Amino acid sequence: MAIERIKLHRMALPLRSPFRTSMAVETHRDTYLVEAVTDTGISGWGECVAMDWPGYTHEYTDGAWDVTLEFLLPRLDRVRHDPNPQAVRAALDEIKGHVMAKTALSTAVLDAWLRERHQSLADFLGADKTAVDAGVSVGIPEAQSIDALMSEVAGYIDQGYKRIKLKIQPGWDVEPVRAVRSTWSTIPLQVDANQAYRRTDTALMRELDEFDLLLIEQPLPEDDWVGHVELAMSCSTPICLDESIISLGTCEAALNFGAARIINIKPGRVGGILESVDIHNMCLARDVPVWCGGMLETGIGRAANVALAAMPGFTLPGDTSASSRYFAQDITAPFELVDGQLLVPRGAGIGVDPISEVIAELTSAVAEISLTHS
Protein backbone atom coordinates (compact mmCIF):
# COMPACT_ATOMS: atom_id res chain seq x y z
CA MET A 1 0.00 0.00 0.00
CA ALA A 2 0.94 3.65 -0.33
CA ILE A 3 -0.47 6.79 1.19
CA GLU A 4 -1.94 8.75 -1.70
CA ARG A 5 -3.29 11.86 0.00
CA ILE A 6 -3.88 13.50 3.36
CA LYS A 7 -7.02 15.45 4.20
CA LEU A 8 -7.43 17.68 7.25
CA HIS A 9 -10.95 18.38 8.56
CA ARG A 10 -11.22 21.37 10.93
CA MET A 11 -14.21 21.43 13.29
CA ALA A 12 -15.56 22.62 16.63
CA LEU A 13 -17.85 20.35 18.63
CA PRO A 14 -20.03 21.99 21.28
CA LEU A 15 -19.64 20.48 24.74
CA ARG A 16 -22.71 19.45 26.71
CA SER A 17 -21.63 21.89 29.43
CA PRO A 18 -18.58 24.11 30.04
CA PHE A 19 -15.51 22.22 31.30
CA ARG A 20 -13.51 24.28 33.80
CA THR A 21 -9.97 23.52 34.98
CA SER A 22 -7.29 25.61 36.68
CA MET A 23 -6.13 26.62 33.18
CA ALA A 24 -9.27 27.56 31.26
CA VAL A 25 -12.96 27.07 30.58
CA GLU A 26 -13.79 25.12 27.42
CA THR A 27 -17.21 25.31 25.77
CA HIS A 28 -16.24 23.68 22.45
CA ARG A 29 -13.80 20.99 21.40
CA ASP A 30 -11.75 22.82 18.78
CA THR A 31 -9.92 20.19 16.78
CA TYR A 32 -9.15 18.72 13.40
CA LEU A 33 -9.19 15.20 12.06
CA VAL A 34 -6.50 13.76 9.82
CA GLU A 35 -7.68 11.42 7.07
CA ALA A 36 -4.96 9.33 5.42
CA VAL A 37 -6.17 7.84 2.13
CA THR A 38 -4.34 4.91 0.54
CA ASP A 39 -3.95 4.08 -3.13
CA THR A 40 -6.56 1.34 -2.59
CA GLY A 41 -9.13 3.82 -1.32
CA ILE A 42 -8.90 2.98 2.39
CA SER A 43 -9.10 5.87 4.86
CA GLY A 44 -7.35 5.96 8.22
CA TRP A 45 -8.17 8.53 10.89
CA GLY A 46 -6.39 10.47 13.61
CA GLU A 47 -7.38 13.38 15.86
CA CYS A 48 -5.39 16.40 17.02
CA VAL A 49 -5.84 16.90 20.75
CA ALA A 50 -4.27 20.36 21.01
CA MET A 51 -6.35 23.11 22.59
CA ASP A 52 -7.25 26.24 20.65
CA TRP A 53 -4.69 28.27 22.61
CA PRO A 54 -1.24 27.41 24.05
CA GLY A 55 -2.36 26.98 27.65
CA TYR A 56 -1.95 23.26 28.25
CA THR A 57 1.26 23.03 26.22
CA HIS A 58 2.98 25.27 23.67
CA GLU A 59 0.91 23.61 20.94
CA TYR A 60 -2.44 24.93 19.75
CA THR A 61 -4.82 23.85 17.01
CA ASP A 62 -3.95 26.42 14.35
CA GLY A 63 -0.24 25.86 14.92
CA ALA A 64 -0.58 22.07 14.70
CA TRP A 65 -2.53 22.45 11.45
CA ASP A 66 0.18 24.69 9.97
CA VAL A 67 3.14 22.57 11.03
CA THR A 68 1.43 19.48 9.60
CA LEU A 69 1.02 21.08 6.18
CA GLU A 70 4.38 22.81 6.02
CA PHE A 71 6.76 20.40 7.73
CA LEU A 72 5.27 17.00 8.59
CA LEU A 73 3.67 16.09 5.26
CA PRO A 74 6.91 16.53 3.28
CA ARG A 75 8.56 14.05 5.68
CA LEU A 76 5.68 11.61 5.39
CA ASP A 77 5.91 11.92 1.60
CA ARG A 78 9.34 10.27 1.69
CA VAL A 79 7.94 7.05 3.19
CA ARG A 80 4.52 7.06 1.53
CA HIS A 81 5.23 3.82 -0.39
CA ASP A 82 6.15 1.93 2.80
CA PRO A 83 4.33 3.72 5.63
CA ASN A 84 5.09 1.16 8.32
CA PRO A 85 4.79 2.59 11.84
CA GLN A 86 8.52 2.79 12.59
CA ALA A 87 9.34 4.43 9.25
CA VAL A 88 6.63 7.03 9.78
CA ARG A 89 7.84 7.68 13.33
CA ALA A 90 11.43 8.20 12.17
CA ALA A 91 10.38 10.52 9.35
CA LEU A 92 8.22 12.75 11.54
CA ASP A 93 10.80 12.85 14.33
CA GLU A 94 13.05 14.89 12.06
CA ILE A 95 10.88 17.77 13.28
CA LYS A 96 11.47 18.75 16.89
CA GLY A 97 8.47 18.86 19.23
CA HIS A 98 4.93 19.36 17.88
CA VAL A 99 3.95 16.03 19.38
CA MET A 100 0.19 16.56 19.07
CA ALA A 101 0.45 17.30 15.37
CA LYS A 102 2.68 14.24 14.93
CA THR A 103 0.28 12.02 16.85
CA ALA A 104 -2.73 13.03 14.76
CA LEU A 105 -0.90 12.34 11.50
CA SER A 106 0.88 9.16 12.56
CA THR A 107 -2.31 7.68 14.05
CA ALA A 108 -4.20 8.27 10.81
CA VAL A 109 -1.46 6.52 8.83
CA LEU A 110 -1.27 3.68 11.37
CA ASP A 111 -5.04 3.27 11.18
CA ALA A 112 -4.90 2.99 7.38
CA TRP A 113 -1.91 0.60 7.56
CA LEU A 114 -3.77 -1.67 10.00
CA ARG A 115 -7.01 -1.56 7.99
CA GLU A 116 -5.08 -2.75 4.94
CA ARG A 117 -3.96 -5.71 7.04
CA HIS A 118 -7.38 -6.34 8.59
CA GLN A 119 -5.80 -6.00 12.04
CA SER A 120 -7.21 -4.07 14.99
CA LEU A 121 -5.14 -1.53 16.87
CA ALA A 122 -5.83 -3.47 20.06
CA ASP A 123 -4.34 -6.63 18.57
CA PHE A 124 -1.38 -4.70 17.16
CA LEU A 125 -0.68 -3.36 20.65
CA GLY A 126 -1.02 -6.73 22.36
CA ALA A 127 -4.03 -5.64 24.38
CA ASP A 128 -5.26 -8.27 26.84
CA LYS A 129 -8.63 -6.72 27.80
CA THR A 130 -11.95 -6.71 25.98
CA ALA A 131 -13.23 -3.77 28.04
CA VAL A 132 -11.58 -1.09 30.16
CA ASP A 133 -12.79 0.54 33.36
CA ALA A 134 -14.03 4.06 32.70
CA GLY A 135 -13.17 7.01 34.90
CA VAL A 136 -14.58 10.51 34.64
CA SER A 137 -13.03 13.93 35.07
CA VAL A 138 -15.12 16.48 36.98
CA GLY A 139 -14.40 20.12 36.26
CA ILE A 140 -14.52 23.01 38.71
CA PRO A 141 -18.16 24.14 39.04
CA GLU A 142 -19.17 27.67 38.21
CA ALA A 143 -18.97 29.84 41.35
CA GLN A 144 -17.16 26.89 42.99
CA SER A 145 -20.39 25.46 44.36
CA ILE A 146 -20.07 22.38 46.56
CA ASP A 147 -23.74 21.57 45.96
CA ALA A 148 -23.23 21.66 42.19
CA LEU A 149 -20.16 19.44 42.53
CA MET A 150 -21.98 16.88 44.65
CA SER A 151 -24.88 16.74 42.21
CA GLU A 152 -22.54 16.20 39.27
CA VAL A 153 -20.51 13.50 41.02
CA ALA A 154 -23.71 11.71 42.10
CA GLY A 155 -24.84 11.60 38.50
CA TYR A 156 -21.59 10.02 37.33
CA ILE A 157 -21.64 7.45 40.10
CA ASP A 158 -25.22 6.57 39.20
CA GLN A 159 -24.07 6.06 35.61
CA GLY A 160 -21.54 3.52 36.84
CA TYR A 161 -18.18 5.26 36.46
CA LYS A 162 -15.43 3.33 38.22
CA ARG A 163 -13.35 6.32 39.30
CA ILE A 164 -13.89 10.02 39.98
CA LYS A 165 -11.26 12.68 39.25
CA LEU A 166 -11.73 16.17 40.66
CA LYS A 167 -10.06 19.16 39.06
CA ILE A 168 -8.55 21.37 41.78
CA GLN A 169 -6.87 24.76 42.07
CA PRO A 170 -5.86 27.05 44.95
CA GLY A 171 -9.01 27.83 46.90
CA TRP A 172 -10.83 24.79 45.48
CA ASP A 173 -9.09 21.73 46.87
CA VAL A 174 -9.40 20.36 50.40
CA GLU A 175 -13.06 21.20 51.01
CA PRO A 176 -14.52 19.77 47.77
CA VAL A 177 -12.40 16.64 48.22
CA ARG A 178 -13.61 16.34 51.81
CA ALA A 179 -17.24 16.69 50.70
CA VAL A 180 -16.97 14.01 48.03
CA ARG A 181 -15.02 11.57 50.21
CA SER A 182 -17.37 11.98 53.17
CA THR A 183 -20.33 11.03 50.96
CA TRP A 184 -18.66 8.28 48.92
CA SER A 185 -16.14 6.67 51.22
CA THR A 186 -15.04 3.85 48.92
CA ILE A 187 -15.20 5.23 45.38
CA PRO A 188 -11.72 5.45 43.82
CA LEU A 189 -10.96 9.16 43.92
CA GLN A 190 -8.10 11.30 42.63
CA VAL A 191 -7.36 14.98 41.99
CA ASP A 192 -5.77 16.87 39.12
CA ALA A 193 -4.17 20.30 39.58
CA ASN A 194 -2.92 20.93 36.02
CA GLN A 195 0.23 22.60 37.45
CA ALA A 196 -1.73 25.09 39.59
CA TYR A 197 0.37 24.83 42.79
CA ARG A 198 3.90 25.77 43.85
CA ARG A 199 6.46 24.29 46.23
CA THR A 200 5.18 26.60 48.95
CA ASP A 201 1.89 24.65 48.88
CA THR A 202 3.42 21.44 50.20
CA ALA A 203 1.58 21.67 53.52
CA LEU A 204 -1.73 22.03 51.70
CA MET A 205 -0.95 19.01 49.50
CA ARG A 206 -0.26 16.99 52.65
CA GLU A 207 -3.76 17.81 53.89
CA LEU A 208 -5.08 15.67 51.03
CA ASP A 209 -3.41 12.58 52.52
CA GLU A 210 -6.35 11.99 54.87
CA PHE A 211 -8.76 11.30 52.00
CA ASP A 212 -7.29 8.02 50.71
CA LEU A 213 -6.79 9.34 47.17
CA LEU A 214 -5.43 7.20 44.36
CA LEU A 215 -3.07 10.00 43.38
CA ILE A 216 -2.42 13.71 43.05
CA GLU A 217 -1.96 14.51 39.38
CA GLN A 218 0.52 17.16 38.17
CA PRO A 219 0.45 19.48 41.19
CA LEU A 220 3.43 21.66 40.17
CA PRO A 221 4.70 23.22 36.91
CA GLU A 222 5.83 20.65 34.38
CA ASP A 223 9.51 21.61 34.59
CA ASP A 224 9.71 21.67 38.40
CA TRP A 225 11.42 18.32 38.84
CA VAL A 226 12.97 19.27 42.20
CA GLY A 227 9.62 20.40 43.55
CA HIS A 228 7.91 17.17 42.51
CA VAL A 229 10.66 15.10 44.13
CA GLU A 230 10.30 17.07 47.36
CA LEU A 231 6.52 16.80 47.25
CA ALA A 232 6.66 13.06 46.58
CA MET A 233 8.85 12.66 49.66
CA SER A 234 6.49 14.79 51.79
CA CYS A 235 3.11 13.27 50.86
CA SER A 236 1.87 9.76 51.46
CA THR A 237 -0.51 10.12 48.49
CA PRO A 238 1.27 9.06 45.28
CA ILE A 239 2.28 11.84 42.92
CA CYS A 240 1.33 11.21 39.27
CA LEU A 241 2.88 13.22 36.44
CA ASP A 242 0.98 14.26 33.32
CA GLU A 243 2.22 17.43 31.62
CA SER A 244 5.81 16.64 32.66
CA ILE A 245 5.79 13.36 30.71
CA ILE A 246 6.43 14.28 27.08
CA SER A 247 8.60 11.30 26.05
CA LEU A 248 10.09 8.01 27.18
CA GLY A 249 13.13 9.93 28.42
CA THR A 250 11.15 12.27 30.66
CA CYS A 251 9.24 9.31 32.07
CA GLU A 252 12.47 7.52 32.88
CA ALA A 253 13.82 10.66 34.53
CA ALA A 254 10.67 11.09 36.63
CA LEU A 255 10.91 7.53 37.92
CA ASN A 256 14.66 7.62 38.48
CA PHE A 257 14.47 10.96 40.32
CA GLY A 258 11.53 9.83 42.43
CA ALA A 259 9.31 12.64 41.14
CA ALA A 260 6.35 10.29 40.54
CA ARG A 261 5.07 6.84 41.46
CA ILE A 262 2.30 6.73 38.83
CA ILE A 263 2.37 7.85 35.19
CA ASN A 264 -0.41 9.28 33.04
CA ILE A 265 0.07 8.33 29.37
CA LYS A 266 -1.56 10.47 26.69
CA PRO A 267 -0.54 9.61 23.11
CA GLY A 268 -1.01 13.20 21.97
CA ARG A 269 1.24 14.54 24.70
CA VAL A 270 4.12 12.10 24.13
CA GLY A 271 4.14 12.03 20.33
CA GLY A 272 2.09 9.02 19.32
CA ILE A 273 1.03 5.44 19.87
CA LEU A 274 4.52 3.96 19.55
CA GLU A 275 6.04 6.28 22.16
CA SER A 276 3.07 5.50 24.43
CA VAL A 277 3.84 1.79 24.06
CA ASP A 278 7.50 2.38 24.93
CA ILE A 279 6.50 4.25 28.09
CA HIS A 280 3.99 1.53 28.98
CA ASN A 281 6.61 -1.18 28.53
CA MET A 282 9.18 0.56 30.73
CA CYS A 283 6.63 1.19 33.46
CA LEU A 284 5.37 -2.38 33.27
CA ALA A 285 8.92 -3.69 33.67
CA ARG A 286 9.34 -1.48 36.75
CA ASP A 287 5.92 -2.35 38.19
CA VAL A 288 4.84 1.30 37.91
CA PRO A 289 1.07 1.80 37.43
CA VAL A 290 -0.04 3.72 34.34
CA TRP A 291 -3.38 4.99 33.15
CA CYS A 292 -4.65 6.67 30.01
CA GLY A 293 -5.42 10.36 30.22
CA GLY A 294 -7.89 12.24 28.07
CA MET A 295 -8.17 15.52 26.18
CA LEU A 296 -11.93 15.69 25.52
CA GLU A 297 -11.46 13.47 22.48
CA THR A 298 -14.15 12.66 19.96
CA GLY A 299 -14.84 9.03 19.12
CA ILE A 300 -11.79 8.98 16.82
CA GLY A 301 -9.30 9.84 19.54
CA ARG A 302 -11.26 7.90 22.15
CA ALA A 303 -11.08 4.68 20.11
CA ALA A 304 -7.28 4.83 20.00
CA ASN A 305 -7.12 5.63 23.73
CA VAL A 306 -9.38 2.72 24.67
CA ALA A 307 -7.25 0.30 22.64
CA LEU A 308 -4.13 1.61 24.36
CA ALA A 309 -5.77 1.37 27.79
CA ALA A 310 -6.45 -2.32 27.13
CA MET A 311 -2.72 -3.11 27.35
CA PRO A 312 -1.53 -5.08 30.40
CA GLY A 313 0.18 -2.25 32.28
CA PHE A 314 -2.86 0.02 32.40
CA THR A 315 -4.07 -1.00 35.84
CA LEU A 316 -5.90 2.19 36.88
CA PRO A 317 -9.11 3.55 35.32
CA GLY A 318 -8.37 6.28 32.82
CA ASP A 319 -10.19 9.33 31.52
CA THR A 320 -11.89 7.09 28.97
CA SER A 321 -15.38 8.41 29.55
CA ALA A 322 -18.44 7.68 27.45
CA SER A 323 -19.10 10.01 24.53
CA SER A 324 -22.08 11.46 26.38
CA ARG A 325 -19.78 12.87 29.08
CA TYR A 326 -18.82 15.66 26.70
CA PHE A 327 -20.93 15.52 23.55
CA ALA A 328 -24.62 15.39 22.74
CA GLN A 329 -23.53 14.22 19.28
CA ASP A 330 -20.19 12.49 18.76
CA ILE A 331 -18.67 12.24 15.29
CA THR A 332 -18.64 8.42 15.49
CA ALA A 333 -21.13 5.97 16.88
CA PRO A 334 -21.07 6.84 20.59
CA PHE A 335 -18.95 5.04 23.12
CA GLU A 336 -21.32 3.93 25.87
CA LEU A 337 -20.79 2.61 29.38
CA VAL A 338 -21.44 -1.08 29.92
CA ASP A 339 -21.24 -1.88 33.64
CA GLY A 340 -18.83 1.00 34.13
CA GLN A 341 -16.59 -0.02 31.24
CA LEU A 342 -16.02 0.82 27.59
CA LEU A 343 -15.73 -2.00 25.11
CA VAL A 344 -12.43 -2.16 23.24
CA PRO A 345 -12.99 -1.74 19.48
CA ARG A 346 -12.01 -4.89 17.61
CA GLY A 347 -12.62 -3.85 14.02
CA ALA A 348 -9.69 -3.17 11.71
CA GLY A 349 -7.53 -0.20 12.67
CA ILE A 350 -9.00 1.96 15.42
CA GLY A 351 -12.27 0.12 14.84
CA VAL A 352 -14.54 3.14 14.33
CA ASP A 353 -15.40 5.47 11.47
CA PRO A 354 -16.65 9.05 11.49
CA ILE A 355 -20.26 9.63 10.51
CA SER A 356 -20.02 11.44 7.18
CA GLU A 357 -23.14 13.56 7.73
CA VAL A 358 -21.85 14.79 11.10
CA ILE A 359 -18.41 15.54 9.65
CA ALA A 360 -20.01 17.53 6.84
CA GLU A 361 -22.14 19.51 9.27
CA LEU A 362 -19.31 20.38 11.67
CA THR A 363 -16.40 20.94 9.29
CA SER A 364 -15.40 24.58 8.92
CA ALA A 365 -12.24 24.16 6.82
CA VAL A 366 -10.59 21.45 4.75
CA ALA A 367 -7.05 21.03 3.43
CA GLU A 368 -6.34 18.20 1.00
CA ILE A 369 -2.79 17.37 -0.11
CA SER A 370 -1.68 14.74 -2.62
CA LEU A 371 1.59 12.98 -1.83
CA THR A 372 3.76 12.76 -4.91
CA HIS A 373 7.22 11.49 -3.93
CA SER A 374 8.28 8.73 -6.35
- From the candidates 102, 162, 165, 167, give the one annotated as an active-site residue: 167
Say how far apart CA 107 and CA 217 lie, in whole Å: 26
Note whether 84 and 113 are within 8 A (CB): yes
HSE-up of residue 163 (Cα within 13 Å, Cβ side): 25
Q: What is the DSSP string of 86-115?
A: HHHHHHHTTS-S-HHHHHHHHHHHHHHHHH
CA distances from 136 to 35, 204, 271 (A): 28, 24, 24
- From the candidates 102, 162, 165, 266, give the one annotated as an active-site residue: 266
Q: Identify which of 261, 282, 269, 266 has the alpha carbon closest to the alpha carbon of residue 216.
A: 261
Q: Please say if 7 is a catalytic residue.
A: no
Say how far apart CA 49 and CA 59 lie, in whole Å: 10
The β-bridge partners of 314 are 290
DSSP H or E segment with residue 257: helix 248-257
Residue 340 Rama label (left phi>0; alpha psi -120 to 50; beta): left
Note whether 173 and 166 are within 8 A (CB): no
Q: Please say if 162 is a catalytic residue.
A: no
Active site residues: 167, 266
